Amino acid sequence: MQNQLYIRSYNRQRKGHFHNYHQLVLPLRGVINIELETYAGKVAPGECVVIKQGQMHHFTANQEAKFVVADMQDLPENVLNTKNLVFTITPPLMSYLTFIEKQLENQVNHQLEQSMFKTFVLLLEQQDHFRQLDHRIRLVVEYVLENIAENLTIETLAKVACLSQTQFKKVFSQQLGLSVSKHVTKERMEKAKALLMHTDYPIQIIAEQVGYADLSAFSRRFSQYYGLSPSSFSQ
């Protein structure tokens, strides 16, 4: 068995088997219902289920559902050691799955497929929150990334989660281990750092793209977060 990525779809008929290699299933569209020895439930887009070598599993799904399946001889250490067999993946990995789907459905190129697999593993190694987020909190995490330049108030995000503001702050902190404000700041600072290092946008434009209309306020927060000024990272 070689390390390989596939696009798969399943049907409503319940099937069960095991294999002598590890397998990861990452939904692109639709939901898979999976039964493992220590987990039974749904796995949705934005999540990954880890089926370890020799582990019996059963699954069903709607026929229109599609998944990226990774057969792997070895798992990255962080994935191998986690006790959570289902976890929410990062947005970069989710975006990469779309590329994998388009490439595999339109061209056979073994050299490129090997490179794609290596990149897939590198992105797996970056996963650090090995938990299956409450779907309401996952919606908020996605909303924050998609609207990072906007004024992300507790009121707005609580509405996205369909929770009261008090309940939202409590559930969010329990799920992510960070307050809402600290999470938003983290995402803004990481995006700002990436834009500073990988683009030639003026710092003022970058500040606006991560939600800071005031350049001095952005510079202060960035310097507090990284210990260096934004100009230290810009090209």
pLDDT of residue 56: 86
Per-residue pLDDT of the chain (235 residues; tens, 9 = 90+): 579 999 987 666 677 778 899 999 999 988 888 888 888 888 888 899 999 988 888 888 776 788 999 999 999 998 888 888 888 898 889 999 999 999 998 888 889 999 999 999 999 998 877 677 888 998 898 899 889 999 999 999 999 999 999 999 999 999 888 899 999 999 999 899 989 988 889 999 999 999 999 999 999 999 999 999 998 876 5
pLDDT of residue 145: 87
pTM above the 0.85 mark?
no
Q: Enumerate the H helices of 147-202 as residue ranges.
A: 154-161, 165-176, 180-198
DSSP for 108-125 reads --HHHHHHHHHHHHHHHT
Question: What's the DSSP call for residue 126?
Answer: T
pLDDT of residue 54: 87
Q: Dihedral sign, CA of 183, 185, 188, 190?
A: negative
From CA 93, how far away is CA 96, in angstroms rounded? 5
Delineate the domains of the chain, giving CATH numbers in brackets: 4-124 (2.60.120.10), 135-232 (1.10.10.60)
Q: How far is CA 177 from each of CA 56, 86, 131, 138, 174, rounded to the nearest angstrom? A: 32, 18, 11, 14, 6
pLDDT of residue 12: 67
